[in-house]
Amino acid sequence: MSNRKFFLHCTQCDYDIQDFKEWFQHNQKCPKCGNAFVEVKYNRDYKELKKLIASNNGDPKNVFHYFDFLPINNPENIISRGEGVIPLENWTFLEDFAKGKYNLDIKVHAYRNDLNPGTGTFKDVAAAIAASVLKENGIKEYVIASTGNIANAYAHYLAEAGISIAVFVPNDALKANEAEVNSYGQKLFRVNGDYAVAKKVAADYAKKYNILMSGGNIDPMRVEAKKTMVFEWLRQIGEVPNVYIQALSGGTGPIAIEKAYKELEGLGLVDKMPKFIMVQPSGCAPMTHGWDKAKEEEFPEGWLHDYPIYENPVTKVPTLATGKPGTYPIIADLVKRSGGEIIEFDEDKLIDVARVVAFENTVRMGPAAAISMGGFFESLHKGIIKNGDKVLINVGEGIRRSPDFVEEMMYTTENVDSVDDCERFDREQYRKQLWDKIENMY
């Protein structure tokens, strides 16, 4: 095994799976114990990772800057659209707000996944790694269930790799997601049911035709991809902020961040994991409700397995509509260990949040990203963000995801007949009006 670049280590029984061929052959389960949660380990000195992070190595072109710590052997199999080297921006207008309203001195960075060149979401890195691994392993067909964004990203990158993918989305998935999958000539099945039902039909399809299906949030390809977020933060700003805010559906983000921390152990680059503040939309917040109950009862024995399941959740953010959160035991445990919180944000206020951001710095967020942004305001209100905190907000998607949301952004239009109807315009007139909505949210 030692001459291999990497292997997959079973977190339950310590069995080492040689490579993805063995992993796929065993239906993405440990051949020894059947566990589905494995960790990729590299036969490499992790000090080399420090070099990749410290030096910009010229100008990183994509996530494969970290090739030595990604589970692909031959660079010829790389599928990339330039994803994963997106900027981390200092958003001072949010710092000013925190100071003005709550008298907190904080630092705020936004991680601009909307700028990912593939499909403009933070699923692009996962799809790039998955497409490359699948190509390397000679996979020609693939199946995935998705609430929307992972569908787009996989459809795009697998098309690039010449791989057919059948995508199963729930009946409330956004039209824009559906259209994007279609446009790459990939197959979309809109399932008459919620995400849990879509997953079931996808699994049946995979079984019926004996096709490999995505392993979901704990899929090692996805975790390996998303761990590079942490490397990028270190590369770009030299540290990991101590508070991490992300919209939560299944929760690959925090799992991947913890994986990155394991790889960085002993390198002197990080100490404690950031506090994870995970945010669900009010229309579908089963993890938040499980968490709130556990907190109220002071985390009793077995709390990780006590969470609600919502069938056919009705939410304005279908991208985050995981009503049956199978990963709750993993995510809630991680959040607790990080000292974080699982909260929800009132989705009726999403547009106010998105408008303020677009006014202040012209970044137009999609609804799922606005949820994490809303989580920032909610956290300030609830006192979860403290003086001196350094906050990172994961802006997971841009606005092209939802044409309806684009239309909702409108507020300046006036219909006129002649210039007599047109008052002279100064954009400052809107600033107060927009911020008042945020100020008076609570």
Ligand X SMILES: Cc1ncc(COP(=O)(O)O)c(C=O)c1O
CA distance 395 to 89: 11
Residue ranges in contact with ligand X by CB under 6 A: 121-122, 147, 149-150, 217, 247-253, 319-320, 368-369, 396-397
Stretch that binds Zn ion, among 6-14, 66-74, 97-105, 121-129 (CB under 5 A): 6-14
CA distance 24 to 117: 29
Note the residue count of the chain.
442
Structure tokens at 59: 């100008």
**Whole-number minimum distance, CB 109 to ligand X, in Å?**
16
With CB atoms as reference, the residue minimizing the distance to ligand X is 396
Q: Which is nearer to Zn ion, 30 or 277 (CB)?
A: 30
Q: Between β-strands 390-395 and 243-247, what pairing exists: parallel, antiparallel or unpaired?
A: parallel
Q: Which is nearer to ligand X, 217 or 379 (CB)?
A: 217
**Whole-number minimum distance, CB 121 to Zn ion, in Å?**
32
**Which residues have CB under 8 Å from 79's CB, separation 6+?**
128, 131, 132, 135, 157, 160, 161
Interacting residues with Zn ion between 8 and 27 (CB under 5 A)? 10, 12-13, 15
Q: Which is nearer to ligand X, 36 or 104 (CB)?
A: 36
What Rg do the C-alpha atoms of the chain give, in angstroms? 22
When binding is defined by CB under 5 A, the residue of 1, 33, 416, 422 that contacts Zn ion is 33
**Whole-number minimum distance, CB 207 to ligand X, in Å?**
23
User: Which helix (H) or strand (E) element contains residue 108?
Assistant: strand 107-112
- In degrees, to the nearest 5, what angle opens at C-alpha 370 toward C-alphas 361 and 239? 70
Partner whose footprint covers residue 228, from Zn ion, ligand X, none (CB < 5 to 8 Å by kind): none
The conformation of residue 324, written as its DSSP 8-state character, comes to S
- Chain position carrying tokens 């090739």: 67
User: Which helix (H) or strand (E) element contains residue 168?
Assistant: strand 164-169
The conformation of residue 15, written as its DSSP 8-state character, comes to P
Q: Which is nearer to ligand X, 91 or 435 (CB)?
A: 91
Q: Which is nearer to ligand X, 7 or 377 (CB)?
A: 377
Q: Based on the shown chain and the rule CB under 5 A, indicate whether residue 416 belongs to the binding site for Zn ion.
A: no
**Whole-number minimum distance, CB 229 to Zn ion, in Å?**
27
Q: Which is nearer to ligand X, 80 or 177 (CB)?
A: 177
**Whole-number minimum distance, CB 248 to ligand X, in Å?**
5
- In degrees, to the nearest 5, what angle opens at C-alpha 121 toward C-alphas 194 and 143? 50
Partner whose footprint covers residue 253, from Zn ion, ligand X, none (CB < 5 to 8 Å by kind): ligand X
Q: Based on the shown chain and the rule CB under 5 A, indicate whether residue 30 belongs to the binding site for Zn ion.
A: yes
**Whole-number minimum distance, CB 390 to Zn ion, in Å?**
38
CB atoms within 10 A of CB 203: 14
- Please give the residue ranges that form the binding site for Zn ion (CB under 5 A): 10, 12-13, 15, 30, 32-33, 35
